[in-house]
Amino acid sequence: MNTIPEIICSEFIGTNLEVTRSKNTNCIGLCGKVIDETKKTFSISDEGKTKIIVKDISIFHFSLSDGTIVEIDGRLLIGKPEDRLKKSIKRLW
């Protein structure tokens, strides 16, 4: 199983995502497959429509391929995806 720092540094495109909390109440409860990621947003496919979700104001549940559901604060995911994949994460707790 992945440890938390490894999950934060992983690729999220193709992963199922659900917004559990957000300052934008319209985003709460949105779920779908991540189809694109930018420095500050995720684009998800939700019932054939593309939705854009801001990372720094949201908390996400990601469903990993082994069936594990992980909750991650979007503020930890801010940054270019390619840079986030390269950086090492210090222990957060």
Which residues are CB-neighbours of 24 under 8 A, at least 6 positions away?
54, 57, 58
* Domain contains 46: yes
CATH classification at residue 49: 2.30.30.210
pLDDT tens digits, 34-55: 999 999 999 999 888 999 999 9
Q: What residue has token string 């193709």?
A: 14
List 5's β-bridge partners, or say none: none
* Domain contains 61: yes
* Domain contains 92: no
* Domain contains 91: no
* Domain contains 79: yes
Q: How confident is the model at residue 85 (pLDDT cuts 50, 70, 90)?
A: low
* Domain contains 37: yes
Q: What angle do CA 54, 21, 76 make, to 5 degrees?
A: 55
pLDDT tens digits, 55-80: 999 999 999 888 889 999 999 888 88
Q: Is the pTM of this model over 0.85?
A: no
Domain span at residue 81?
Answer: 4-86
DSSP 37-72: E-SSEEEEEETTEEEEEESTTEEEEEE-TTS-EEEE
* Domain contains 93: no
Total domain count, the chain: 1
pLDDT tens digits, 4-44: 567 787 888 999 999 999 999 999 999 999 999 999 999 99
Q: Residue 29 in contact with residue 18, Cβ under 8 Å? A: yes
